[in-house]
Amino acid sequence: MSPEIQSLRRDIEQRMGVALQSPADFEHLIQQIWDKQHSVLSLSTIKRIWGYVQSNSAPRLSTLNTLLQFLDYADWNACQKLQNLWESQAQ
């Protein structure tokens, strides 16, 4: 999994206040996303992103956008721009 996806997972776990490690944890995240933004992600999608089940494919951009919106980012591109800005200011 890419460093960006790993960072996204850490940020979501921090927002949730718990490490996501079981199907019940993933279901709770799915419910939290629905409650906040009325977006739906499947349990199998979340399991693949967290490495609970093996996958050779990268997450879809729409999935990443949904997860980032849960963290109050507009979308993947906005998140990347902010990270690049923070990195340039740190140098």
Q: Token pair 């740190």 is at which residue?
A: 90
CB burial of 28-43 (b: ≥16 within 10 Å; e: otherwise) equals ebbeebeeeeeeebee
Query: Among the listed ranges 27-31, 35-39, 40-44, 61-65, which one has the minimum average pLDDT value?
Result: 61-65
Decide: 43 and 26 in contact? Cβ < 8 Å: yes
| Strands (E) located in the chain | none
Q: How many CB atoms are closer than 10 A to CB 8? A: 22
- pLDDT tens digits, 81-90: 667 655 666 6
pTM here? 0.85
- pLDDT tens digits, 12-33: 999 999 999 999 999 999 999 9
